[in-house]
Amino acid sequence: MSANAPILALRGVNKSFGPIDVLHDINLEVRAGEVLCLLGDNGAGKSTLIRILSGVHQPTSGTIEMDGQSVGFPTPRAAADKGIATVHQFGGTFPLMSIGRSFFVGVEPTKGWGPFKTYDRKKANEIAVKAVQDFGITRIDDGDRLVGGLSGGERQSLAIARAVHFGARVLILDEPTAALGVKQAAHVLRIVNEAKRRGLAVIFITHQVMHAMAVGDHFAVLIRGAVAADFKKGEKTREQITDLMAGGETMADLEATIEGYMASHDGHPPPPSH
């Protein structure tokens, strides 16, 4: 898997808002059929990184590459057109719309002719329900149900199924399991594995090391806007990762090291440890 070229790569990306530097020299790659877990505490810059990847913010410097070509995502729409789909924590939106209608917002199937072209509810419901069921969520069987009536895990699943159905190549999952119970989270993790099996590149943002280890192939830990560690599956134990993420001596050491390094290297962070 790791032999193929990355679909999406960040090369030396920096982001500042006015005088505040949020991201420093970020280098990340994600490949087809690979799950990149992005770990980090609150305020580490995860959200800003997601927003750059999904076209909400532009990097201050550095480049984004897709299939080896330098690209820009001036708008979220541009990122979506290039196959980058972002699914947020609550998975969805439009809680008061039906499953079929929300699935097809913007690309509604129609039937009929000319000015009498009507929204094809039956077709929309069938496709939406099938897409979700293909991901193993068999409890969703009625496309007329309102999205707001689904459980958190089902909503995430619906959003992921939607992204895959519309040809996403890179799936960005922003804390998909944070608000879920154990069973629901397991559901979402299975779906992440299914998306990976289908050859999508997945960027999985999470706090939960267990969840990350269950699906991740590649891990990056963000601390204070810099990639503090970048390693592959099996290279670190759960304890080590937790330590890295959730504080403890290792975290404190790292922060001190990074700050010391940045102070003496013109504001640049140290290269990530492997």
Partner 1 sequence: MMASFAPFLRRPEAASIISLIGIVAFYVIIGGVDLVTLFGAASWINFAANLGIVAIPVGILMIGGQIDISIGAMIPAGSMTVAIVSGHFGLPIEVGILATLSLGAIVGLVNGLLTVRTTVPSLIVTLGTLVVMQGVVLAGANLLTGAASVKIEAPAWAKAAFGSLIGSSHQVIILWWLVAVVVFAFVIHKTRFGNWVFAMGGDLVSARNAGVPTARLTIMLFMLSAMSAAFVGMCGAIQFNSAQVSGGMGYIFNTIVSIVVGGVLLTGGFGSVVGIFIGTLTFAIVSQGIYFTQIDRNWSSLIIGVTLLLAVAMNESFRKFALRAGPRQATGRR
Strands (E), 224-260: 226-232
* Per CB under 8 A, 118 contacts partner 1: yes
* Per CB under 8 A, 261 contacts partner 1: no
* Per CB under 8 A, 106 contacts partner 1: yes
Closest CB 256 distance from partner 1, rounded Å = 39
Token pair for 94: 């439009």
Closest CB 193 distance from partner 1, rounded Å = 19
* Per CB under 8 A, 58 contacts partner 1: no
Token pair for 35: 């799950």
Token pair for 69: 């070509």
Closest CB 254 distance from partner 1, rounded Å = 35
* Per CB under 8 A, 198 contacts partner 1: no
Closest CA to 225 of 173, 269, 170, 192: 269
CB closer to partner 1, 112 vs 247: 112
Residue 176 one-letter amino acid? P
Binding mask 136-155 for partner 1 (x = CB under 8 A): ---x-xx--xx-xxx-----
* Per CB under 8 A, 190 contacts partner 1: no
* Per CB under 8 A, 130 contacts partner 1: no
Binding mask 66-105 for partner 1 (x = CB under 8 A): ----------xx--x------------xxxxx---xx-xx
- Contact at 8 Å (CB) between 130 and 104? no
For residue 227, give the 3-state DSSP assignment: strand
Determine the Cα–Cα distance for residues 211 and 214; give it in Å rounded to an integer: 5
Torsion of CA 95, 98, 103, 107, to 10 degrees: -110
Token pair for 133: 């069921």
CB closer to partner 1, 71 vs 146: 146
Determine the Cα–Cα distance for residues 267 and 145; give it in Å rounded to an integer: 53
Token pair for 110: 């129609």
Closest CB 163 distance from partner 1, rounded Å = 11
Closest CB 191 distance from partner 1, rounded Å = 15
Say how many C-beta atoms besides its own lie within 10 A of residue 8's C-beta.
Answer: 24
* Per CB under 8 A, 238 contacts partner 1: no
Sole window of 2-10, 135-143, 198-206, 226-234 interacting with partner 1 (rule: CB under 8 A): 135-143
CB closer to partner 1, 37 vs 188: 188
Binding mask 158-187 for partner 1 (x = CB under 8 A): -------------------------x----
Rg (CA), the chain: 20
CB closer to partner 1, 142 vs 253: 142
- Contact at 8 Å (CB) between 203 and 30? yes
Q: Is the dihedral of CA 92, 98, 104, 108 positive or negative?
A: negative
Binding site for partner 1 (CB under 8 A): 76-77, 80, 93-97, 101-102, 104-108, 110, 117-119, 139, 141-142, 145-146, 148-150, 183
